[in-house]
Amino acid sequence: MLPGLKPAGMAALALMLGLGIGAWSMRLYFDRTLRHWDPEQRFVAQLAAELGLDDVQQQRVSIVLAEEKARMEVRRRGWALDVSLLGREGEGAIARLLTPAQAQRYSALSDQVHGRMERFLWASQDSSTAVAAEGPNR
């Protein structure tokens, strides 16, 4: 026992030491396992095991999965952009219904919800979302 350390202090020290070793062990485990964990490869391996795929089939399945993943990502990015633009158009439509004082307050409220820079990044002079940045009747 360490001199001058009470049993409660020893328990706290043991707990802290255990937490530190546990955190280090988890970090080591995740660094060694998840860094190389590829869901596509795991899926192909599962199909190979359960369906008896040969090497050529495994390669072809991997190609199909990679192509589908790329196609989905393109669609996902386009969908996110469409949703964002629709939101900006809605903000502009609301701002056009308001008085200048109301539109200014609405803009401040929108900034609190969405963040100030996001509105200005999406606004342009030739888009319907420009109202959100400029205010109504300008």
**Segments forming the whole domain that contains residue 126:** 38-134
Instruction: Note whether 49 and 31 are same-domain residues.
Output: no
Instruction: Note whether 55 and 74 are same-domain residues.
Output: yes
> DSSP letter at 3?
T
Instruction: Note whether 27 and 46 are same-domain residues.
Output: no
Domain assignment present for 67? yes
Instruction: Note whether 60 and 42 are same-domain residues.
Output: yes
pLDDT tens-digit series, residues 68-124: 999 999 999 888 888 878 888 888 898 899 999 998 898 888 877 766 555 555 554
For residue 98, give the amino acid letter. Answer: L
The helix or strand, by DSSP H or E, that contains position 10, with its residue range, turns out to be: helix 7-33
Alpha helix (H) residue ranges in the chain: 7-33, 39-51, 55-97, 100-114, 116-122, 130-134
pTM reported for the whole predicted model: 0.45
Instruction: Note whether 23 and 74 are same-domain residues.
Output: no
More confident residue, 91 or 16: 16
Enter the tokens of residue 108.
């401040």
Domain assignment present for 75? yes
Instruction: Note whether 54 and 110 are same-domain residues.
Output: yes
Enter the tokens of residue 88.
């900006």
User: How many Cβ atoms sit within 10 Å of the Cβ of residue 98?
Assistant: 16
For residue 103, give the amino acid letter. Answer: A
Number of domains forming the structure of the chain:
2
